[in-house]
Amino acid sequence: NAGVTQTPKFQVLKTGQSMTLQCAQDMNHNSMYWYRQDPGMGLRLIYYSASEGTTDKGEVPNGYNVSRLNKREFSLRLESAAPSQTSVYFCASTNRGGYEQYFGPGTRLTVT
């Protein structure tokens, strides 16, 4: 039981490049989330998916798109990376009750 997995662990992009961050969970959770964490800011919600087939914007969605590919997988896409998107990105999932969020190990992204 791997929990929540994320790939890649580290990535360096040039401004304007695109990439997709992958997230998968094997806990049969309904809801999945993408956050970014910046120093002094706490985790901020980018997008979430309450259940398979639905996605909604969070606090900071600009510059990102998401896909809930199936119940297990929720990907985050940066279409044209900007230096302001340098951050640590965490994927999380919760069960139906939403009691506890389980996080992946994070992706450290640097945009130069």
C-alpha span between 57 and 62 (Å, rounded): 9
Nearer to another protein, 33 or 74 (CB): 33
Nearer to another protein, 59 or 79 (CB): 59
76 contact partners, CB below 8 Å, separation of at least 6: 20, 21, 23, 34, 46, 47, 64, 65, 66, 89, 91
* Choices 14-22, 29-37, 70-78, 79-87; region in contact with another protein by CB under 8 A: 29-37
Nearer to another protein, 17 or 52 (CB): 52
66 to each of 39, 41, 47, 99, 107, how far by Cα in Å? 24, 22, 7, 23, 16
> Which x/- pattern over 33-52 shows residues binding another protein (rule: CB under 8 A)?
x-x----xxxxxx--x-x--
Name the site residues for another protein (rule: CB under 8 A). Answer: 31, 33, 35, 40-45, 48, 50, 56, 58, 90, 98-101, 103-106
